[in-house]
Amino acid sequence: MTSLVYDLHSHTTASDGVLTPDELIKRARHRGVNVLAVTDHDTTSGLSDAQKSATSHGITLVHGIELSVTWQKNHVHIVGLNINASSDRLKTRLAAVQEIRQERAQEMAQRLEKVGINNALAGAREFSLNNNITRTHFARYIVSIGKARTMSEVFKRYLVPGKPGYVSVDWIPMDEAVELIQSVGGCAVVAHPARYKMTNTKMKKLLAVFADVGGAGIEVINSGSTREVIENNISLANQFGLAASIGSDFHSPDNKFVDLGRFPPLPDNVTPIWEGWDEM
Ligand code: AMP
Ligand code: MN
Ligand code: MN
Ligand code: MN
């Protein structure tokens, strides 16, 4: 029996993480994670540096991505694990999503200007080393100029639906995202199901469609998941025949509650997403 520590959801400076791929891999090793998936938002550009570092530090890197997806006007995140990032089809699709991100960022900055937050586009870009602009980069800028004290305060006041800096866009449709991930050899996993503020009924509808179009798994444990959430996720996984994934969703060492490998082990009443992966 091997007892590897898996963390299948994390971010680098290629999206809205603050550690470079190399720094992230070193932290994974320090934290006792054996198998780490790097799953940056809508980009695979951190994977080659992460692979070099993983090889030299004895970490098994799972090549991943976290796709921004729209399903029935809801925005959800679908993680792809074990993807072939060199696929031209994937690159073309991601380039289109990056265009949407750039246009959205311009619109967000214009709206923020109207509520007294100036230079937000340039400011967010300063925080985005890879020019892959997310709301997180706007949030870091807004905190840095003292317009809010914490990240969660910025989101609440400015960056969620109904607030001045929120701009809704159409991301990749869910069925297309699942098919795209599969077409590049990956398996599709619904990220952090408890974070969407969906009713259980709606989540079940989503999972029925997701499983039907070929979705493989669902994250049942993230950093900070409560026991109730974990139990509910496990029951959803089993109900829809989905495998279970676990991942911290690590972004930054500043958040003490979210860290690589910081979550309980997977209970044995679910099928791990890594069952059947090559022995690592
Ligand atoms: P985007 O993909 O540009 O819409 O940005 C989404 C990212 O914002 C997520 O991946 C999180 O990293 C971050 N985020 C969303 N809500 C919050 C929040 N309440 N507090 C801190 N970060 C958040
Ligand atoms: Mn993020
Ligand atoms: Mn996410
Ligand atoms: Mn994430």
Which CA distances in Å does 111 have to 38, 106, 117, 167?
32, 9, 9, 9
How much is the pLDDT for 79?
99
Helix segments in 184-253, DSSP class H: 200-212, 227-239
Residue 168 phi, psi (nearest 5): -85, 135
Model confidence, pTM: 0.98
Residue 134 Cβ inside 6 Å of ligand 1? The answer reads yes
- What's the whole-number average pLDDT of the chain? 97
User: Ligand 4: distance of its center to the CA of 39 in Å?
Assistant: 7
- Angle value at C-alpha 198, between 97 and 226, nearest 5 degrees: 105
Residue 48 phi, psi (nearest 5): -70, -40
CB neighbours (10 Å) of residue 27? 18
Write down the domain spans for the chain.
6-93+174-246, 99-159
Q: What is the mean pLDDT of residues 185-207?
A: 97
In whole angstroms, what is the distance from residue 203 CA to residue 193 CA?
Answer: 8
How much is the pLDDT for 20?
98
- Identify the CATH class of 99-159: mainly alpha
In the structure encoding, which two tokens stand for residue 90, read together? 């994937």
In whole angstroms, what is the distance from residue 215 CA to residue 229 CA?
Answer: 21
Residue 249 Cβ inside 6 Å of ligand 1? The answer reads no
- Does residue 81 carry a pLDDT above 80? yes
Q: What is the mean pLDDT of residues 93-99?
A: 98
Residue 152 Cβ inside 6 Å of ligand 1? The answer reads yes
Residue 41 Cβ inside 6 Å of ligand 1? The answer reads yes
Give the architecture-level CATH label for domain 6-93+174-246: Alpha-Beta Barrel (3.20)
In whole angstroms, what is the distance from residue 187 CA to residue 242 CA?
Answer: 11
The ligand placed nearest to the CA atom of residue 9 is: 4
